[in-house]
Amino acid sequence: MSTTFQLDTATSRANPTPAPLKRLTIPAIQRRKADGHTAQPIVMLTAYTARQAQLLDEHCDILLVGDSLGQVIYGLPSSVPVTLEMMAAHGAAVVRGSYHAVVVVDMPFGTYEASPQQAFESAARLLKETGCAGVKLEGGAAMAETVAFLVARGIPVMGHVGLTPQAVNVLGGYGARGRSDAEAQKIIADAKALEAAGAFAIVVEGVIEPIAIAVTQAVTCPVIGIGGSAQCDGQVLVTEDMLGMFERVPRFVKRYEDLGGVISGAVARYAAEVRERSFPGPEQTYQPK
């Protein structure tokens, strides 16, 4: 799906001239997995703002506007308090800032579980207000009917099994799932149910590696791991985690940079120069002609 309007790139620092990239489509993502194998793994990261989307876009196949924005952007204790309005606002920003990646928006807790009709109304609103290509929802077999309902009405759905953060109160925490045989079999069955319902891809989160591999092998749609296995069809991380913006991160995160330290150091230098009156200097001030 392409952005339907052009932004004025001449007047706003937030909107540099976009690269001439053709946006990927959900069918193109689905075709990455053929005969049970994905030759080119799917790269997926979270994005919450237009500028962040611009920086990530050319490197990613999918940008996920995750309900993790509750913690990352708003400082909430979990994703449970996130609202549909939050997701719509941030989803629209990410679509405006991207030209290449497929944009998928999380459906927040309480906006889809009650009935397929409720889910359709929420998902339709997200598609209309953001221009995203699809939505993501948590849950396995229990949500299969809802997934099928949405797909039949033209709304692409990404599933999510294993550790499902919206259900943290039921799960009792964020520990790895699939350690018991019964739980492992349920995770695999959940993935199969979502595939049968028409999900175009499935996120498998926070499960022991053999289960992540088993899920990947059990379904024909792409399986995207987070705390799973390198053998999944793709990977996703919260961007701020992999960039080192937070001191505490889950075990499955690899930090590729220490942006938190970079930002803190830059602000410290700025504060010192302000206090010693060396900023602004001649290069940053306007002098009489």
Domain range summary for the chain, segments of one domain joined by +: 26-242
> What is the per-residue pLDDT for 179?
77
Is 106 assigned a ligand-binding role in the annotation?
A: yes
Q: Is 78 labelled as part of a ligand binding site?
A: no
Peptide bond into 280 cis (omega under 30): yes
Class of the domain covering 26-242: alpha beta
Position 221 scores a pLDDT of 98
* Range 128-160 burial, b when 16+ CB lie within 10 A, else e: ebbbbbbbbbbbbbebbebbbbbbeeebbbbbb
Q: What is the pLDDT of residue 167?
A: 55
Is residue 240 among the annotated active site residues? no
CA dihedral 65, 71, 76, 77 (to 10 degrees): 120
Please check if 61 is assigned to a binding site.
no
From 58, 129, 145, 205, the catalytic residue: 205
Report pLDDT for 164.
Answer: 74
Tens of each residue's pLDDT in the chain, 289 residues: 444 444 555 555 665 555 556 899 999 999 999 999 999 999 999 999 999 999 999 999 999 999 999 999 999 999 999 999 999 999 999 999 999 999 999 999 999 999 999 999 999 999 999 999 999 999 999 999 999 999 999 999 999 999 876 655 555 555 666 678 888 999 999 999 999 999 999 999 999 999 999 999 999 999 999 999 999 999 999 999 999 999 988 889 999 999 999 999 999 999 999 999 999 999 999 999 8
What is residue 163's predicted lDDT score, i.e. its pLDDT? 82
Identify the pLDDT of residue 6.
Answer: 47
Contact 69, 81 (CB under 8 A): no
pTM metric for this prediction? 0.90
22 annotated as belonging to a binding site for a ligand: no
CB 63 within 8 A of CB 53: yes
Is 136 flagged in the annotation as binding?
yes
pLDDT of the residue at 3: 45
Strand partners, 203: 160, 224
Joined together, the tokens standing for residue 206 give 């926070």
